């Protein structure tokens, strides 16, 4: 075990449970952080979100695995749990299972799915299309995985649930109720020609689901009890967050959010374990936060749609790093000479960081480091540690604006306080220029090997956040991560 791993082991051994959640609007690199700490845990559990997530992880032999529904823990042979708070899509699960088998080879570790998790049907997808059509220009720009309907229909007490896959009569009753309630919406969109596909009958949906369900019969159980027993038997559990604080249905930028409980408290609700079982949280923050879809993003560099379209209209810059080299060199020169516009900065960091969604392929809009937002995320999640990802993005940059406070109606907002979501796009972001580092820090895994100005950046940020920055990502590779010595 190298120094980094030994340091982590010492810190984490006292936490039988650990929650990992995102600070921004997703895509913080939670997969990499989870991968780093997984070795110290026996069980990996997902408690929120669904197939809208996309975590990139690497297997021990260096193969790339993108997990959507199954916890990242699968790549390290951990017992995997899809708890009640995770929305379940049977078809996508089976596809992911097959892909995982191909990549990981042989027998997979045990996987458990909660018997009462909301079960996806084609009606959820159609209803999501209907809602987005009806919202018109106020649409959210969802991942189109039926997530909002899965949560909403569950709360309306109309949801088919996973265990009903083995109770055909019950499932048919659920499907029929759901169909009856949604049919007028489907008829409306069919009538107006906005949705043209043929809507399957409840009986057809039932047959399709039940036929596929034979493949998961042994996976379905009461995962709350299972996790409770695992804890009682001394097993160590890692709770893998999906989406992030800004996308939490309650504490994110409502209504431009996902529909699950993606903050740390969601781990208790989503697993059915009592609150005192959760011992520590790691909040994963991206050095330059990103956002896809619609909704407020106070530190955003450029216009959302332009940033999102940029990845598509300049696909060559993303597909081939050598094609990108000239572009990056020119933009870097302009950034360091102080002549780059915010749009150019956004383009530079989008290309440099390959900022495209793992689930949707859409370009991600990029923002400056946003301390007031992070202080809010810290208040909501109360993390023991912070993992700061993609710090290497600031390599070779002389200095960068950092948002240090929000001002609204002439008043600086107190730390940890946000206005309501609808006013968030009106806050004035007060920025300071922070010195960066003209060296390339990619791949550095020892804090002492960072240039002094990079160390100073981290220490300055840590003081302002008031939470130890334990992990620092310095590149995409598994070893490109620093583990700092911090107080326990
Ligand atoms: P939904 O989760 O598909 O309902 O989408 C709601 C919003 O959350 C949209 O803006 C999505 O782009 C965003 N979103 C959902 N999951 C992720 C994610 O894993 N990363 C980034 N954005 C996400």
Task: Tell how far the Cα of 134 is from the centroid of ligand 1, in angstroms.
Answer: 19
Task: Tell how far the Cα of 428 is from the centroid of ligand 1, in angstroms.
Answer: 25
Smallest CA separation from ligand 1 atom 19, residue: 53
Which atom from ligand 1 is nearest to the alpha carbon of 144? 3
What integer pLDDT is reported at residue 320 of this predicted model? 83
Give the separation between CA 16 and CA 228, rounded to whole angstroms. 12
Report yes or no: 65 and 102 within 8 Å, Cβ to Cβ: no
What integer pLDDT is reported at residue 358 of this predicted model? 62
For residue 255, whether the previous peptide bond is cis, meaning omega lies within 30 degrees of 0, is yes
Beta bridge partners of 57: 65
Determine the 3-state secondary structure of 332 from DSSP.
helix
Task: Tell how far the Cα of 258 is from the centroid of ligand 1, in angstroms.
Answer: 6
Residue 47 main-chain phi, psi, to 5 deg:
-125, 0
Catalytic pick from 3, 15, 35, 55? 55
| Alpha-carbon dihedral sign for residues 302, 307, 313, 318 | positive
Report yes or no: 345 and 397 within 8 Å, Cβ to Cβ: no
Report yes or no: 483 and 444 within 8 Å, Cβ to Cβ: no
Q: Which residue of 131, 139, 247 sits with most ligand 1 atoms within 8 Å of its CB, as the best mutation to test the pocket?
A: 247
What integer pLDDT is reported at residue 282 of this predicted model? 98
**Residue for token digits 């991968």?**
35
What residues flank ligand 1, with Cβ below 6 Å?
Answer: 25-27, 52-54, 140-143, 145, 147-148, 243, 247, 258-259, 292-293
Whether 192 shows a pLDDT value over 80: the answer reads no
Whether 319 shows a pLDDT value over 90: the answer reads no
What integer pLDDT is reported at residue 359 of this predicted model? 62
What integer pLDDT is reported at residue 4 of this predicted model? 85
Q: What is the mean pLDDT of residues 131-158?
A: 92
Catalytic pick from 15, 27, 35, 248? 27
- How confident is the model over 333-359, as pLDDT tens digits? 999 999 999 999 999 999 999 998 766
Those residues whose C-beta lies under 8 Å from the C-beta of residue 269, and which sit 6 or more positions away, are 47, 85, 261
CB atoms within 10 A of CB 321: 12
Q: What is the mean pLDDT of residues 408-436?
A: 96
Give the separation between CA 174 and CA 158, rounded to whole angstroms. 7
Is 124 one of the annotated active-site residues of the chain? no
Q: What is the dihedral of CA 260, 266, 268, 269, to 10 degrees?
A: -30
Task: Tell how far the Cα of 218 is from the centroid of ligand 1, in angstroms.
Answer: 31
Give the separation between CA 56 and CA 103, rounded to whole angstroms. 13
Closest to 5 in 3D by CA, of 474, 419, 446: 446
What pTM was estimated for this model as a whole?
0.96
What integer pLDDT is reported at residue 360 of this predicted model? 66
- How confident is the model over 228-258, as pLDDT tens digits? 999 999 999 999 999 999 999 999 999 999 9
Q: Which residue of 50, 292, 297, 355 sits with most ligand 1 atoms within 8 Å of its CB, as the best mutation to test the pocket?
A: 292
Task: Tell how far the Cα of 316 is from the centroid of ligand 1, in angstroms.
Answer: 25
Q: Above pLDDT 90, what percent of the chain?
A: 83
What integer pLDDT is reported at residue 488 of this predicted model? 66
> Could you tell me how far CA 440 lies from the centroid of its own chain?
27
Give the separation between CA 72 and CA 358, rounded to whole angstroms. 14
CB atoms within 10 A of CB 269: 17
Those residues whose C-beta lies under 8 Å from the C-beta of residue 264, and which sit 6 or more positions away, are 19, 21, 241, 278, 281, 283, 380, 381, 382, 383
Is 456 one of the annotated active-site residues of the chain? no
Task: Tell how far the Cα of 382 is from the centroid of ligand 1, in angstroms.
Answer: 23
Those residues whose C-beta lies under 8 Å from the C-beta of residue 434, and which sit 6 or more positions away, are 369, 399, 400, 401, 402, 457, 460
Smallest CA separation from ligand 1 atom 20, residue: 26
| Residue 366: its H or E element | strand 365-366
Give the separation between CA 189 and CA 485, rounded to whole angstroms. 58
Which atom from ligand 1 is nearest to the alpha carbon of 364? 21
């Amino acid at each position: 075990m190298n120094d980094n791993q030994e340091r982590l082991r010492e810190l984490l051994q006292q936490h039988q449970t650990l929650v990992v959640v995102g600070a921004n609007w997703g895509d913080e690199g939670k997969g990499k952080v989870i991968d780093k700490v997984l070795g110290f845990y026996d069980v990996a559990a997902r408690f929120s979100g669904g197939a809208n997530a996309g975590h990139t992880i690497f297997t021990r032999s260096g193969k790339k695995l993108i997990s959507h529904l199954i916890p990242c823990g699968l790549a390290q042979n951990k017992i995997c749990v899809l708890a009640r708070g995770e929305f379940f899509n049977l078809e996508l699960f089976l596809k992911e299972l097959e892909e995982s088998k191909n990549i990981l080879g042989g027998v997979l570790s045990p996987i458990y799915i909660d018997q009462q998790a909301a079960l996806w049907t084609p009606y959820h997808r159609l209803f999501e299309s209907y809602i987005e059509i009806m919202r018109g220009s106020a649409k959210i720009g969802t991942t189109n995985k039926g997530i909002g309907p899965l949560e909403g229909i569950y709360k309306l007490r109309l949801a088919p649930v996973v265990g009903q896959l083995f109770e055909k009569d019950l499932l048919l009753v659920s499907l029929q109720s759901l169909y009856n309630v949604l049919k007028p919406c489907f008829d409306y969109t069919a009538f107006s020609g906005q949705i043209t596909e043929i809507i399957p009958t409840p009986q057809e949906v039932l047959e399709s689901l039940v036929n596929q369900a034979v493949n998961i019969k042994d996976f379905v159980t009461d995962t709350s009890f299972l996790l409770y027993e695992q804890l009682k038997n001394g097993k160590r559990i890692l709770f893998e967050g999906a989406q992030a604080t800004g996308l939490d249905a309650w504490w994110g930028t409502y209504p431009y959010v996902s529909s699950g409980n993606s903050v740390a408290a969601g781990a208790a609700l989503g697993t059915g374990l009592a609150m005192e079982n959760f011992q520590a949280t790691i909040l994963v923050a991206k050095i330059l936060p990103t956002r896809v879809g619609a909704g407020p993003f106070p530190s955003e560099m450029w216009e959302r749609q332009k940033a999102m379209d940029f990845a598509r209209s300049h696909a060559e810059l993303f597909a081939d790093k050598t094609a990108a080299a000239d572009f990056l060199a020119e933009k870097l020169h302009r950034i360091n000479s102080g002549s780059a516009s915010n749009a150019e900065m956004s383009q530079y960091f989008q290309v440099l960081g390959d900022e495209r969604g793992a689930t949707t392929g859409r370009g991600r809009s990029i923002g400056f480091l946003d301390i007031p937002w992070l202080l809010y995320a810290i208040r909501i999640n109360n993390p023991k540690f912070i993992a700061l990802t993609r710090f290497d993005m600031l390599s070779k940059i002389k200095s960068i604006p950092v948002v240090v406070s929000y001002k609204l109606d002439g008043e600086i907002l107190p730390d940890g306080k946000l206005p309501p979501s609808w006013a968030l796009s009106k806050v004035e972001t007060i920025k300071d220029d922070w010195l960066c580092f003209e060296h390339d820090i990619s791949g550095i895994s020892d804090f002492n090997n960072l240039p002094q100005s990079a160390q100073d950046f981290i220490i300055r940020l840590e003081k302002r956040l008031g939470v130890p920055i334990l992990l620092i990502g310095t590149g995409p590779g598994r070893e490109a991560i620093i583990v700092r010595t911090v107080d326990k």
